[in-house]
Structure 1
Amino acid sequence: MTEMSEKQYYVPHTAKWPIVACVGLFVSVIGASLKFNSLDLEPTTPWVMYAGFAILIFMFFGWFGEVIKESEDNLYNKQVDASFRAGMIWFIFSEVMFFASFFGALFYARTFAVPWLGGEGANLATNVQLWSGYEAVWPTNGPGELNGRFETISAFSLPLVNTLLLLTSSITITIAHHALRAGDRKKTIIWMIATVLLGATFLFYQAEEYIEAYQHLNLTLKSGIYGSTFFMLTGFHGLHVTLGTIMLIVITLRLMKGHFKPNNHFGFEAVAWYWHFVDVVWLGLFIFVYVL
């Protein structure tokens, strides 16, 4: 099919995938709610949640496959490309706000809540009335040492290694992008494989770090405000790295199949944008969670 006129705007004739997505989300949320609220519906409850996840996976494969086919059939013009780019920009912005909320919680607890509990400022002598003798130091397990003492993870051990891995992966995916624009597909694939391996190695070391924290340092989600913010930030970032690595694998497989052209490869660019975003978030996380 020939490329469309620039004055036209391609709209898919069918719209079944958004409906499938809604059904999958509804079923998975209902199943998760039943399971996490410990309702006595075993063994039915887990399968409701798993069925929802299965529907979502089916939706992702179907929807993305359809978009890829339409793109390879040259059904999209510059107007559609601009729409895709705007959608990806807004998606990354929403992710920025997502992480900003957790960084904000960390900042508030560390800068305001902990000093107040220690008696700083005119706060009705909080430390005397509620937690006499509490020392406002960071990291803290909270007044009363809620779940015992814990140790923190040194910033210059596995976290530093992971920082170097992600920074290197930003370089490798940038080299791959330049190679794609130059029409060197073989070089692009090689550097994309390197990026995938770096992302997978990051996840491996983060799993090692979690095992060390839980088994040897007594640092868990229950370790006061520090443990909560530590695992929420690093955990959600790890989830994003996992999703990003999956996207990198898909893009690499598409490159092997001959997809993307030097002047038309937004699918590649979107994943590269997302990966750079993940790297920047980790830099902030490394500084404010591990170093400071």
Structure 2
Amino acid sequence: MSFFIETLVGGLLAGVMYSLVAIGFVLVFKASGVFNFAQGSMVLCAALTFVTMRDKGIDFWLAAPITLTVMVLIAIAVERVVLRPLVNRPQITLFMATLGVSFVIEGLAQIVMGASVHELDLGIVDTPIEIGGVQVSQFDLVAAGTAGILVVALSIFFNKTRVGIALRAIADDPQAALSIGIRLQTLWQIVWGVAGFVSLVAGLLWGARQGVQFALTLVVLKALPVLIIGGFTSITGAIVGGLIVGAGDSLAEIYLGSLLGGSVSTWFAYVLAVAFLLIRPAGLFGEAPIERI
């Protein structure tokens, strides 16, 4: 029983790492209805920018705000140069635009900062500690705490501030929001800037976990089941979806993998996502679309 609990807890905490990437998707989609496929490249760019400055001897507390500034500027530039001219275009057009941006960011990052694998040390000890008889990774606990703080802060931002309420209005009906004087471009820049900040947090934690390398862009693929399960418009859903994916992967790898004689963690999350698409297409916390005739 203790082994089952340790596996479950480890999976839940690992799922938080996927949630951090998924939150970036939710932010942009919730505010603009755009699925930002470039989020994975932004995570890579943030981690690569930070570790490059650290390798040059720049202090941690100076490298972090510089990286944040770079990510916010990149996010705002993407909104202004790419997405703003495509307002009111079909969703597939916007999606393809972010897909192109993803390759541009990844290519420029490789040209400017190189393609070598970098080790990123955040000073977080990744050794297990015992809590209630269960071995838990200290690194996973820090990641979970970081995700919890982000969820609370972003929930307050979207639900309690004037900017957050305006962003929700734009997501519901951009034309109606514009007609009452809401400045679409300014608010999109804000939300893309916040997405840049989330990319920095996710990039640092993922970079510290598996090294800063171009495989970081692939975390976007594991974030997709998280979004489908939790819902594309819910920050809380991103966390819950991550917990389900993380726990499901860990338990399936141990108990189902032994029956099938191979690894199942690479595809089990997608099976869960397909099941949710069949049963609840909007996700656990997503808002079902309302069509008026």
**Structure-1-length-normalised TM-score:** 0.29
Question: Higher RCO, 1 or 2 (CA under 8 Å, sep at least 6)?
Answer: 2
Who wins on radius of gyration, i.e. which is larger? Answer: 1
**Structure-2-length-normalised TM-score:** 0.29
